[in-house]
């Protein structure tokens, strides 16, 4: 059973319960199984040897999530080939693909946590009340150690984009 962190975050001031541990800088990044599409999964090992910027959003079809994904897509151009930028949400894979096509997203890989929520629970972002993943940013180095983490205290706020990008640039 996943650890419950009651009141670890809020949505419009209302307390939320996050399932899973609160990861810290220096922790080994947990493995995950996320869906690329309905038949094909991705794991942490698929990105071995690369710096990973993982942007977690509740749903791409909301304003802040849309802006967050677009911002990291724009930033991805300047990060180089040793960096992979992933956006994780519980949106279905075909909804993610539709959104990316409509938004012109071509540098960020969207992955879905809809099936078994393994990412959400392993990274401590699964919202018990909504069955969505809470907004967070993780930067993981080439050896799968967490180099930067930001759990947003309020789900509707933007992350610190500049800090996340600076953390990535320190590793490449």
* Phi and psi at residue 171, to the nearest 5°: -95, -10
Helix axes 93-103, 63-76, angle to 10 degrees: 70
Q: Catalytic residue among 34, 51, 65, 155, which?
A: 65
DSSP labels for 42-108?
A: EEGGGGTTSEEEEEE-S-TTSHHHHHHHHHHHHHHTTT-TTEEEEEEESS-HHHHHHHHHHHT--SE
- Half-sphere CA count of 73, side-chain side, radius 13 A: 17
Block residue for tokens 């038949």: 39
Q: Is-catalytic flag, 100?
A: no
DSSP bridge pairs for 33: 43
* Tokens matching residue 125: 């972002």
Block residue for tokens 């959400």: 120
Active site residues: 65
């Amino acid at each position: 059973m996943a650890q419950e962190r009651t009141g670890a975050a809020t949505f419009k001031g209302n307390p939320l319960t996050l399932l899973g541990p609160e990861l810290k800088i220096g922790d080994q990044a947990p493995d995950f199984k996320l869906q690329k599409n309905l038949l094909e999964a991705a794991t942490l090992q698929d990105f071995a040897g690369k710096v990973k910027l993982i942007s977690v959003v509740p749903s791409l079809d909301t304003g802040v999530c849309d802006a967050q994904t677009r911002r990291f897509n724009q930033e991805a151009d300047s990060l180089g080939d040793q960096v992979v930028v992933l956006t994780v949400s519980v949106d279905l894979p075909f909804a993610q693909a539709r959104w990316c096509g409509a938004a012109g997203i071509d540098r960020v890989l969207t992955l879905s946590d809809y099936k078994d929520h393994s990412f959400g629970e392993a990274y401590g972002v699964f919202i018990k009340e909504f069955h969505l993943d809470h907004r967070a940013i993780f930067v993981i180095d080439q050896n799968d150690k967490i180099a930067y983490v930001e759990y947003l205290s309020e789900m509707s706020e933007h992350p610190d984009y500049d800090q996340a990008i600076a953390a990535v640039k320190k590793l490449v």
